Amino acid sequence: MDALFIEFYHNTGFYLWDYRYLIMIAVGLVFVYLGIAKDYEPLLLVPIGFGILMGNIPVFQGLGLSIYEDNSVLHYLYFGVTQGIYPPLIFLGIGAMTDFSTLLARPILMLLGAAAQTGIFITFLGALALGFAPNEASSIGIIGGADGPTAIFLTAKLAPHLIGPIAVAAYSYMALVPVIQPPIMRLLTTRKERLIRMEEPREVTKREKIIFPIVAFLLCCFLAPAALPLLGMLCFGNLLKEAVVTERLAQTARNSLIDTATILLGVTVGASTQGDIFLVPSSIGIFALGALSFGIATASGVLFAKVMNLFLKSKINPLLGAAGVSAVPDSARVVQIVGQKEDPTNFLLMHAMAPNVSGVIGSAIAAGVLWSLMAS
């Protein structure tokens, strides 16, 4: 009987534990805490945080418990991540909940969404310089797109072994948008620039809204076909929303479908951060480069807006450039908050939504470009 107890004890987490699991459990708890108590991206941080707890229970091999064992339940669920299935489903939902009318009203703001993607490519160079392979560097750079599903999708295609740290870095920085962005925005703008008021946009017709996803899809995917899974689903979701006659499908896409995909993606990505695999020096490099990427993306957007102002008659508030990173709608809200600190009656939120949603398109194109360049 003693032998049985000892054998059982040897299979428990108390025997198999390792300090790395404990560190990751602490990280998971911080995520859950930030999500619940601080309301930082709770819909993402809570599933990922709990997933981290699930992935860091020390288990013995062979029973099919770890996400990295072929016959485990978590492994099957993780299939949707490694094969890039969940991100397009999430994009379908995002499309079904996004209103592109501010972008349609002032298309020039789309350039800010493009400028912010510069951060991706600068970080790509940084990652190469630090010794990462080109496919890994691409996946690290995309963190600056501030788009979790896109980062996961590209990493699944190019560097599946980095999904854990990249996803955790991407979502951590997205949750920290209100902390990371404002200092950069204030540093790069003068008070006078932050006080700039935007012109009221024109009214957008329903027909424009219906045509937009079709035109955007055809145009962008002809240019960067590798963006098809993400942009195709994004535009399809938006068409469902705007077409009205498909409201039932849009409802499903923006509610149950996106929620299901987010839960599965969050939990399995969290569970993939098993301490012994996750806590390696390259993860620290990824986190550092991720922060850099995010910072450069924000700065690129702001600086590009200032450059545009040199040529525009009707000036753009350069704070809007920060919304070019596609953390929707948080970075747009940050623009609103920073702008209102200077002038409480200046209302930038709606204008910031334009670069914000174009950032989603921009980061999907960037992911498609990197994927096709790496594949070739």
Partner 1 sequence: MYGLEAINANNGWAISVVGVTIVFSGLVTLSLVISQLYRVLALWENPSKIKTLFKAKQPKNQSEEFQEKEIIDQAVFTESQKEGAKQFSLLIRTMENHFSLPRLLHLAQISDLKNSHSNLNNLLKTNIIIPDGSGFFTWEKETFDKAIL
- Residues that bind partner 1 in the complex, under the rule CB under 8 A: 97, 99, 101-104, 107-108, 110-111, 113-114, 117-118, 120-122, 124-125, 128-131, 133-134, 137, 201-205, 207-208, 211-212, 215-216, 219-220, 223-224, 241, 329, 332-333, 336, 340, 344-345, 347, 349-350, 353, 358, 361-362, 365-366, 369-370, 373
Q: How far is the CB of 18 from partner 1 (least distance, A)?
A: 31
For residues 144 and 325, is the Cβ–Cβ distance under 8 A? yes
**Helical packing angle, 206-223 and 228-242, nearest 10°:** 170
User: Rounded to the nearest whole angstrom, what is the least distance from the CB of residue 220 to partner 1 in the complex?
Assistant: 5
Q: Considering beta carbons, is residue 102 or 172 the nearer one to partner 1?
A: 102
Question: What is each CA distance from 248 to 21, 123, 212, 240, 285, in whole angstroms?
Answer: 44, 41, 20, 9, 45
The Cα–Cα gap between 239 and 212 comes to 8
Q: Output the smallest distance, CB 31 to partner 1, in A.
A: 23
**Whose Cβ is closer to partner 1: residue 265's or residue 370's?**
370
3-state secondary structure of 105: helix
Q: Which is nearer to partner 1, 80 or 134 (CB)?
A: 134
Residue 242 CA, chain-centre distance (Å), reads 24
Q: Please report how close the Cβ of residue 201 comes to partner 1 at its closest, in angstroms.
A: 8
The pair of three-digit structure tokens given for residue 143, joined into one six-digit string: 């963190």
**Could you write out the DSSP letters of every residue in 115-127?**
HHTHHHHHHHHHH
Nearer to partner 1, 33 or 347 (CB): 347
Provide the 3-class DSSP secondary structure of residue 160.
helix
The whole-angstrom distance between residue 20's C-alpha and the CA centroid of its chain comes to: 26
Helices 258-271, 86-97: inter-axial angle, 10-degree rounding? 140
The nearest distance, CB 203 to partner 1, in angstroms, is 7
> What's the min distance (Å) between Cβ of 116 and partner 1?
10
Whichever of 98 and 189 has its CB closer to partner 1, that residue is 98
Pick between residue 188 and residue 335 the one whose CB is nearest to partner 1: 335
